[in-house]
Amino acid sequence: MSSKSGKYFGLVYVKHGRVGTRSEGPDYYLQTGRGDLLLHYEQRNLWEPDYKLEFFARQFVEVEGKLTEQDGKESLQVEHVRASHAHSVISHPAL
């Protein structure tokens, strides 16, 4: 498992995960020009919403956090998130 801190820009969206199980609930993703990253902000049960990330759903944001990779899957442990004024993931200068 490796980790890398940094700033990431993109669109936050919510996907309903683990459908048909007892832990069915929302998963939060950051859509970037390089791919989608699963977001983790605070410790929560899988079936509960993360209200801090829910607030930014369907918005372009700037996220500070640690990118971790485990078993070939990337996820982002969020330290701070704020709204961005970028109108497109692809045209953002940091990508």
Residue-level length of the chain: 95
Q: pLDDT tens for residues 22-35?
A: 888 999 999 998 89
Domains of the chain: 2-83 (2.40.50.140)
- Tokens read off for 87: 């109108």
Per-position DSSP letters for 13-57, written without gaps between them: EEEEESTTSTT-EEEEEEEETTEEEEEE-S---TTS--HHHHTTT
**Predicted pLDDT of residue 91:** 55
User: What's the pLDDT band for 59 if we cut at 50, 70, 90?
Assistant: very high
Q: CA angle at residue 8 from 4 to 14, to 5 degrees?
A: 110
